[in-house]
């Protein structure tokens, strides 16, 4: 596609000279128009939308500077090169402040013209490549938005999302969290449909669509599956009878249309995205308990995997909650909550208790020294071992060994 060049100068001989230079120096150029005054140049620019404009500073009706100011309103992706005389240097400086690409001094030298055109076309090419890359990225983002929203919301629900980053991602994906935001959990009361992942997905989508329909008067902003068969939706809250009837209406439509009984629980969170992101994992657990819904299988699995990880790695003093969470795919805070719920102990408490239990088994071996027991059970020092052992068991390691040997 040729570069379109517009020439504006009130002197015919200069227009001709500029035209000849452009066509000689820029073989893939096409002259989009030649104007003898500023108003004519502006009209040509509006219709032809040129890539490069060579504009004289002094023109009748509309000066070059006024032309540049008016041109900005047309939103044309172009490079303006001002042509000026030596005695008009201050005009040229002002033109640069208005955003023109460059200026050339009359009489225009061939080398100066060649350099200006080369830089202008390079700048335009680079700018348009960047714009095309941005356009494609936005198109790809738009195409993948539904999936990206689901992934992000699941990460937040499972406590795996960084709070500051997640708030930015919500904004980027077009999820505007109202303040306060109402969280609605809908738990179907029947077992998962037979037939595999596709049937489960279709059932979840049908339920999500129904929830959105009932919440329509309250501006729902997002919904997602929570990893089981339940649906979570965010919306504006409400007051009055219409809002009070929402849970019953969702349950009624699920029963009538999908043949599925459903339990519904709702809770409002104030403060916008930040508080919602922080509260959502625990809030969903509370809502599940409120609905009497099935246990969160993922939480059970996380607790089981954490216990297994501890049992395989307890002997390493550097083992930490953060390491185990990263290995398992959960946030440290969520993993600790899941462990507490599943075992009655936090991750750190469970790890200490398991190390002490292993130490007890080792202390049954008569020839094993206390320092070796501490080292083999994952304690960084004998002193730390004694302190933790006494906290867990109520007596010191030496007292325990003495009692065991009686």
Query: Each residue of 58-100: pLDDT tens digit?
Result: 888 888 788 888 998 898 999 999 888 766 666 666 666 677 8
Domain 299-405 part of CATH 1.10.10.60? yes
> Six-digit token pair at 176?
């505007």
What's the CA gap between 70 and 47, in Å, rounded? Answer: 14
- Specify whether the backbone of 33 is left (phi greater than 0), alpha (psi in -120 to 50) or beta: left
Q: What crossing angle do the helices spanning 110-157 and 273-291 adopt, rounded to 10°?
A: 30
Query: What is the model's pLDDT at position 199?
Result: 57
Domain 158-294 part of CATH 3.30.230.70? no
pLDDT class for 192, splitting at 50, 70, 90?
very low
pLDDT class for 47, splitting at 50, 70, 90?
very high
Query: Is the per-residue pLDDT at 300 higher than 70?
Result: no
Query: What is the model's pLDDT at position 48?
Result: 94
Q: Which residue has the higher pLDDT, 294 or 37?
A: 37
What percent of the chain has pLDDT above 70? 88
Burial class from Cβ neighbours inside 10 Å (0-12, 13-18, 19+) for residue 240 reads exposed
Whether the full predicted model's pTM is greater than 0.75, yes or no, is no
Tell me what the mean pLDDT of segment 289-312 comes to.
68
Locate the domains of the chain by residue range: 3-129, 158-294, 299-405
Query: What is the model's pLDDT at position 112?
Result: 93
Two domains, one topology: 158-294 and 299-405: no
CA 324 centroid distance within chain:
25
Query: pLDDT by residue (tens digit) across 150-185?
Result: 888 888 888 878 778 888 888 888 889 898 999 999
Query: Is the per-residue pLDDT at 191 higher than 50?
Result: no
Query: What is the model's pLDDT at position 198?
Result: 55
Query: What is the model's pLDDT at position 310?
Result: 86
Query: What is the model's pLDDT at position 295?
Result: 43
Burial class from Cβ neighbours inside 10 Å (0-12, 13-18, 19+) for residue 366 reads exposed
Q: How does strand 79-84 pair with strand 181-188?
A: unpaired
Query: Is the per-residue pLDDT at 26 higher than 90?
Result: yes
Q: Please state the φ and ψ torsions of residue 350, each to the nearest 5 degrees.
A: -65, -40
Query: What is the model's pLDDT at position 23?
Result: 94
Query: What is the model's pLDDT at position 314?
Result: 87
Query: pLDDT by residue (tens digit) across 336-392?
Result: 877 877 677 888 888 888 888 788 878 877 778 889 888 988 998 889 988 888 888
Query: Is the per-residue pLDDT at 30 higher than 90?
Result: yes
- Please, what CATH class does the domain formed by 3-129 belong to? alpha beta
Helix (H), strand (E), coil (C) string for 178-237: CCCEEEEEEEECCCCCCCCHHHHHHHHHHHHHHHHHHHHHHCCCEEEECCCCCEEEEEEC
């Amino acid at each position: 596609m040729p570069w379109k060049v517009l020439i504006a100068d009130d002197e015919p001989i200069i227009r001709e000279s500029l035209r000849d230079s452009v066509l000689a120096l820029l073989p893939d150029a096409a002259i989009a128009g030649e104007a003898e005054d500023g108003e004519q140049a502006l009209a040509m620019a509006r219709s032809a939308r040129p890539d490069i404009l060579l504009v004289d500073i002094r023109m009748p009706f509309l000066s070059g500077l006024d032309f540049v100011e008016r041109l900005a309103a047309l939103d044309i992706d172009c490079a303006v090169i001002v042509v000026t005389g030596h005695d008009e240097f201050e005009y040229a400086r002002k033109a640069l402040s208005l955003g023109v690409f460059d200026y050339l001094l009359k009489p225009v030298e061939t080398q100066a013209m060649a350099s200006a055109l080369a830089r202008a076309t390079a700048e335009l090419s680079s700018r348009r490549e960047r714009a095309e890359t941005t356009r494609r990225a936005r198109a790809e983002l738009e195409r993948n938005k539904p999936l990206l929203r689901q992934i992000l919301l699941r990460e937040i629900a499972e406590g795996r999302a960084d709070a500051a980053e997640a708030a930015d991602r919500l904004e980027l994906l077009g999820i505007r969290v109202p303040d306060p935001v109402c969280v609605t959990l809908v738990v179907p009361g029947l077992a998962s449909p037979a037939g595999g992942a596709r049937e489960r997905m279709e059932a979840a989508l049908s339920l999500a669509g129904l929830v959105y329909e009932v919440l329509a008067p309250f501006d729902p902003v997002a919904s997602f599956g929570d990893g089981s068969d339940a649906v979570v939706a965010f919306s504006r809250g409400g007051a009055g009878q219409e809002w009070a009837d929402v849970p019953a209406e969702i349950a009624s439509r699920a029963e009538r249309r999908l043949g599925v009984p459903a339990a519904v629980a709702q809770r409002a969170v104030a403060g916008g995205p930040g508080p919602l992101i922080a509260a959502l994992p625990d809030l969903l657990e509370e809502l599940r308990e409120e609905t009497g819904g099935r246990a969160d299988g993922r939480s059970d699995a996380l607790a089981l995997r954490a216990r297994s990880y501890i049992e395989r790695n307890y002997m390493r003093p550097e083992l930490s909650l953060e390491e185990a969470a990263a290995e398992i795919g959960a946030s440290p805070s969520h993993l600790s909550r899941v462990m507490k719920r599943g075992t009655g102990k936090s991750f750190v408490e469970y790890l200490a208790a398991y190390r002490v239990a292993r130490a007890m088994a080792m202390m049954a071996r008569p020839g094993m020294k206390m320092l070796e027991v501490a080292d083999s059970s994952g304690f960084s020092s004998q002193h730390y071992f004694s302190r933790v052992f006494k906290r867990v068991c109520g007596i010191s390691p030496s007292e325990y060994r003495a009692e065991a040997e009686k």
